[in-house]
A and B are shown apart, each in its own frame.
Chain A
């Protein structure tokens, strides 16, 4: 299990993640307060007295410094304030629910990315220069040269439009879903669109790393012991080949988090990404700050998780 030193390291990293989240939200806080106008200006019928009351309710009549103090003390308690548009709705529970939705799709995309990427990569490496290798390589090239919003749009066209027409409306992908938990069908197609470009990268990397590992002396040692090819590949090669793959897991997770903004909007998924765009458009700045804070936390924790994954896979790395 985790040693004392590793626990101390974990603690330090968690403090760092929290600090980063506060820093990111502070920058966004200061940024949005520099923008002209506010969420209430579109309410044409609002009278000056009512506006004054609203401004007071949201502490917008205070000085920037006082507002910031209130904001930081709130964020340290986990309170991100109230929505400016849907008055009286607290932001933290709302975003937590939406984060759950995003997590479903994101986790599915990540599993799909790693699973498909690794399987394709390993097969391509073992069958190097065979038609399987060429097919996997060609698929990968297509995968990572196509941005995920293109893939998403094509998938919507196929599953929501063509499939609907072809089956006479019996089976099709319904754009937009309500509630927190999506069905397997609702999750899998966006997850595919989100993960496919990254799966291609993982496949390329796994292939290259696997080919490199298969040339190593210890693979020859394993064969000289009389182990079967299957055991040599799974036990001796794959684990070593995964080390560079774990390295890109950090940037990859970030890519999936940021990619979800586009994908959720294309598929109408009620997650953080959709909220992000909507809140900017409606100038709901409190929510904008909240979404940024969530993203900062998610990216920080994902990187932390990747760093600890290293120690699980490579005994030479210890914290």
Chain B
């Protein structure tokens, strides 16, 4: 296996608010290999977006990275001088955001905003930048790119705006593209098109993609590997197919159970996860998921589990794991 292009080690990002310290990301570690597609899934407020922003050091005050390393090709982004981080942003690691309307500047032409991404890192003439912007718009399948390059964001549809954002992200042929909820603000049909585009681009350009979403279906459509986050921690990780077929953490299992399915029996009620995501100022003792977990045991209340291997390439932070929980459930019924 090749060396990872990005290594996140024990990352902690905290927000110092008046109410207390919010531990938004609390000891997250993972590797990303060149060309890989990695999904990060979890509910709102589980720290997935903050993890992404931390990678580019874009976390806003009062947030701060308090611990850990983010190694990009071996150099630590956390301790890098500001100018060096700026060199990486948009050039080596690009990021696209959730709402493409609010994420594009309303008073600047779309083409100009793409050209700007190139001009920030390379000396190129306006003409070359323009033709490259047109080429990028074509690459993300925007029709009539030659004239569209002169348009303003409000003249684009939602899906086209997100395509333009992706074009902007690809402008400098980055080795990593972080997509933070890229399809959440879009129609379902447009969602599928954007995912297909990202999949094609991943194969054409060999850009590694980190896809952040709360939607398990989106992950299944694009990613090879997935990290499931809960309350600032990774609770389960592994290859997508394995996680889908054989989830070991009760949280992952509940997430999968809460996806509506057309082929499910009508009488089966959709399973929701009881309770609310925990307060990250004072997280629960023991396993952070225990107050909402149906399978908890005595140990979960006071003992905090860390990631343990539960299968080939698969790890879960759980004392029970679904394998045992379901076996006991079966015994109880028998």
Contact = CB atoms under 8 A, between A and B. Distances in A.
Interface of A: 216-218, 220-228, 231, 235-236, 239-240, 313-316
Given A217-B103, A236-B108, A224 B58 contact: yes
Contact of A220 (B103, B108, B109): B103
B121 interface: yes
B87 interface: yes
Contacts of B102: 216-218
Interface of B: 56, 58, 60, 86-91, 94-95, 97, 99, 102-109, 116-117, 120-121, 152, 154, 165, 168
A226 B58 contact: no
A234 to B, nearest CB: 12
A227 B120 contact: yes
A218 B165 CA distance: 11
Most chain B beta-carbon contacts within 10 A, residue among A217, A314, A316: A217
Contact of B103 (A221, A228, A235): A221
A240 B105 contact: yes
Contact of A221 (B87, B97, B152): B97
Nearest to A220: B58
A74 B116 CA distance: 57
Contacts of B86: 226-228
Contacts of B87: 226
B106 A218 contact: yes
Contacts of A226: 86-91, 117, 120-121
Contact of B89 (A218, A223, A236, A240): A223
A53 B261 CA distance: 100
B120 A225 contact: yes
Given A224-B95, A226-B120, A227-B120, A218 B154 contact: no
B163 to A, nearest CB: 15
- Residue in A220, A236, A239, A314 whose Cβ sees the most chain B Cβ within 10 Å: A220
Contact of A218 (B91, B104, B117): B104
B90 A225 contact: yes
Contacts of A240: 105-107
A124 B63 CA distance: 22
B51 to A, nearest CB: 15
Contacts of A313: 107
A316 B101 CA distance: 13
Contacts of B99: 217
B106 to A, nearest CB: 6
Contacts of A220: 58, 60, 97, 103
> Interface majority SS on B: helix, strand, loop or mixed?
loop
A314 B105 CA distance: 11
B251 to A, nearest CB: 29
A223 B86 CA distance: 8
A220 B168 CA distance: 14
A218 B116 contact: no
14 contacts: A216-B102, A217-B102, A218-B102, A218-B103, A220-B97, A221-B97, A223-B58, A225-B89, A225-B90, A225-B120, A227-B86, A227-B90, A227-B120, A314-B107
A262 B254 CA distance: 74
A224 B90 contact: yes
A177 to B, nearest CB: 43
Given A224-B58, A226-B91, A218 B120 contact: no
B314 to A, nearest CB: 32
A224 B107 contact: no
Contacts of A314: 106-107
A315 B88 contact: no
Nearest to A215: B60
A225 B168 contact: yes
A315 to B, nearest CB: 5
Contacts of A222: 105, 116
B121 A316 contact: no
A66 B103 CA distance: 64
A220 B104 CA distance: 10
Contacts of A225: 89-90, 94, 116-117, 120, 168
B90 A236 contact: no
Nearest to A239: B107
Of A221, A222, A313, A315, chain B has the most CB atoms within 10 Å of the CB of A221
Most chain B C-beta atoms within 10 Å of own C-beta, residue among A217, A225, A236, A240: A225
A231 B90 CA distance: 15
B154 A224 contact: no
Contacts of B103: 217-218, 220-221
A316 B89 contact: no
A318 to B, nearest CB: 10
Given A224-B56, A226-B86, A227-B116, A218 B94 contact: no
A228 B90 CA distance: 12
A315 B152 contact: yes
A227 B117 CA distance: 8
B266 to A, nearest CB: 41
A237 to B, nearest CB: 9
A223 B104 CA distance: 12
B330 to A, nearest CB: 49
Contacts of A221: 97, 103-105, 165, 168
B97 A316 contact: no
A316 B104 CA distance: 13
A316 B91 contact: no
Given A224-B58, A228-B86, A314-B106, 14 more contacts: A217-B102, A218-B103, A221-B97, A223-B58, A224-B89, A224-B94, A224-B97, A225-B116, A225-B117, A226-B87, A226-B91, A231-B120, A240-B106, A316-B154
